Amino acid sequence: MSLGQWLIERDSYNHIKDFSFFKQFKSWKFMRMWKKIIKRQNKSKAEQSLEEGLFILQKDFREHLFIHRELMLKMADKKFVDTCSSSEFKTIDEFAMVQEECRTKIAKEIEATSEQSRRNVQLLFDAVL
């Protein structure tokens, strides 16, 4: 490289390094990295807090919670009054008798589902404790 070319590049370098961007770059870089580290630490703390608080993420809880939810949804679908099949009855007494049988049947099904739910919860307690 010739001396003249070197002098031109040196002057360009000195001129560029006086820009505020290059003067402040070191402090910007430090602050930006510090901000990234703080955000990463906060995210990690939040993830850990969520993982500790959400039972669904823990293997033992997940299985039993899904079973419990399924049982509760089945129980919620039960109907104590069946009006769809009642169109063929001639008297109110016949309708009342069929409805009583329906309620008795549904009550037994709900008791069975409740017993399954209790067993599921007991299995969860046994697994966790």
Indicate if the pLDDT at residue 35 is higher than 90.
yes
pLDDT for 102 = 84
Q: What is the DSSP string of 51-100?
A: HHH-GGGSHHHHHHHHHHHHHHHHHHT--S---GGGGG--SHHHHHHHHH
Residue 27 or 55, more confident:
27
Residue 91 or 34, more confident:
34
Rounded distance between C-alpha atoms, residue 102 and residue 94, angstroms: 12
Structure tokens at 106: 């549904």
pLDDT for 106 = 87
For 31-35, 71-75, 111-115, which range has the lowest pLDDT when averaged over its residues? 71-75
Indicate if the pLDDT at residue 9 is higher than 90.
yes
Which of 27, 35, 117 has its CA nearest to residue 73? 117
Structure tokens at 77: 């679908």
